[in-house]
Amino acid sequence: MTLLTFVLTIIPIVLILVLLVAILVHRITLHSVEKRLDNYQKDLLSKHYDEVQNIYQKMRGWRHDYHNHIQTMKAHLVLNQMDELQNYLDMLDNDLETVDTVMKTGNVKLDAILNSKLSLIANENIKVNAKAQVPSVLSVSEVDLCIIIGNMLDNALESCRALHGKELPFIRIYIGVFKKQLYLSITNSAPDKLKRMGTGRYLTTKGNGHGFGLKRIDGLVKKYDGYINRQNEPGVFATEIMLPL
């Protein structure tokens, strides 16, 4: 075998090996990034869960102290301490407002992520209409469900921010049971037209390097043999997901 023949023979082999190594490195890197993101989201969910548990504890404490509140107000009334009574009522009113803003779906973990995201949205001057109720028993992992919802709301908030104050944006949330399936629907304001990346896929307003949220949603819906539908009309973006119960 001549040197030229050897070189011509070995070059394709080397190129194939280089290509295989590049593919392997890419997959390892992608898996590592997705794993870090998954761990981050689970840690964040745990934090939100603790926050809502604290709110629930406050609700239970308020109920427990109800009798004492009544006695205190009666005492102010008997002593004609109207200013003190007014201050006490204002304090109780503030406590009740905090309790009433908590969305209760029937699932504490879902409550945690929803209330955390809705708190962020409330600070963005976005009109919100939310209704959510889930069965006590789910076939879908609670963590996976919260990751789906969390990413859907992140995308909705991102779309609303992209309007840059041109109009009052909105987000509509509905979670419930439809045709014996868990039905998730989020509709929100969006730029006039989003760029598609194929069937049902859209570029995020943050650019090509930040599509992990969409990938996580798609991957988890596929994991449970669910259904996902995304629709984009001028100024409005909607996502519907159905998961088996």
Question: Per-residue confidence of the chain (245 residues) as pLDDT tens digits?
Answer: 565 565 556 666 667 777 777 777 667 666 666 676 666 666 666 666 665 665 666 667 667 777 788 888 888 888 888 888 888 888 877 766 555 556 889 888 888 888 888 877 877 889 999 999 999 889 999 989 988 998 899 899 888 988 877 778 999 999 999 988 999 999 999 887 665 555 445 544 444 434 667 888 999 999 999 999 999 888 899 999 999 98
How far is it, in rounded angstroms, from Cα 230 to Cα 218? 11
pLDDT of residue 53: 65
Nearest Cα residue to 228 out of 155, 148, 174, 159: 148
Residue 82 lies in a domain: no
Nearest Cα residue to 212 out of 138, 127, 147: 147
Residue 84 lies in a domain: no
CATH code (residue 16): 3.30.565.10
pLDDT of residue 76: 84
Residue 33 lies in a domain: yes
How far is it, in rounded angstroms, from Cα 168 to Cα 17? 55
pLDDT of residue 209: 37
Residue 85 lies in a domain: no
How far is it, in rounded angstroms, from Cα 111 to Cα 133? 10
Phi/psi of residue 201, each to 5°?
-115, 140
Q: Number of structural domains, the chain?
A: 1
How far is it, in rounded angstroms, from Cα 157 to Cα 189? 9
Task: Show the domain range for 149.
Answer: 3-64+103-244
Phi/psi of residue 107, each to 5°?
-135, 120
* Maximal CA-CA distance, the chain: 112
Rounded to a whole number of angstroms, the distance between the first and last alpha carbons of the chain is 66
pLDDT of residue 58: 64
pLDDT of residue 37: 65
Residue 96 lies in a domain: no
Query: pTM of this prediction?
Result: 0.63
Phi/psi of residue 140, each to 5°?
-85, 140
pLDDT of residue 207: 44
